[in-house]
């Protein structure tokens, strides 16, 4: 039997979860809602994260634009994803929500700008 204590990061309430596994089936306790149960099982089987970072910006008012993935990606790809983001330079103007790096690492998830940035 496996038992893990986690804090749910799906919403700011931060419920303390206990995930137990026995014979391949998972049980989550401590969650206030269904999303916590889904998160708990996912976290112990295939953890994923949304990545936030900044990307180089050419011709903009600032040298970098804030970005994030528009979905979660496997936790083991976080550093590779950060490297990919670091290798891209986007040209101003950029609109919030604009895809600046599609299908990062073949995950089906895009990196999007989170702030509109005009030209100099
Ligand atoms: S279990 Fe539900 S209420 Fe609790 S932190 Fe997770 S999402 Fe929020």
pLDDT band at 1 (very low <50, low <70, confident <90, very high): confident
* Helices of type H across 32-77: 34-45
Residue 110 neighbours by CB distance under 10 Å: 17
Phi-psi region of 97 (alpha: psi -120 to 50; beta: other; left: phi over 0): left
Q: How confident is the model at residue 15 (pLDDT cuts 50, 70, 90)?
A: very high
Q: DSSP class of residue 108? A: S
Give residue 113 CA to ligand 1 midpoint distance, Å: 27
| Ligand 1 atom index nearest CA of 31 | 1
Adjacent-strand bridge partners of 74: 48
pTM for the full model? 0.84
Alpha helices in the chain, H assignment, sequence order: 34-45, 78-86
Give the pLDDT of residue 120: 85
Q: Is 8 in the pocket of ligand 1 (CB under 6 A)?
A: yes
The Å distance, Cα 31 to ligand 1 centre, comes to 6
Which of ligand 1's atoms lies nearest the C-alpha of 7? 5
In this predicted model, what pLDDT tens digit does every residue of 60-96 receive, in sequence order? 999 999 999 999 999 999 999 999 999 999 999 999 9
34 CA → ligand 1 middle, Å: 8
Domains by residue range for the chain, with CATH: 2-45 (no CATH), 52-113 (3.10.530.10)
């Amino acid at each position: 039997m496996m038992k893990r204590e986690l804090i749910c990061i799906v919403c700011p309430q931060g419920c303390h979860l206990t995930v137990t596994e026995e014979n391949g089936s998972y049980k989550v306790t401590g969650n206030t809602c269904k999303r916590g149960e889904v998160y708990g099982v996912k976290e112990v089987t295939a953890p994923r994260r949304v990545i936030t970072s900044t990307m180089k910006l050419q011709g903009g008012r600032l040298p970098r634009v804030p970005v994030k993935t528009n979905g979660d990606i496997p936790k083991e790809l976080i550093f590779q994803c950060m490297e990919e983001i670091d290798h891209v330079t986007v040209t101003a103007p950029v609109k919030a929500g604009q895809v600046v790096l599609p299908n990062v690492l073949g995950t089906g998830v895009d990196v999007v700008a989170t702030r509109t940035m005009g030209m100099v």
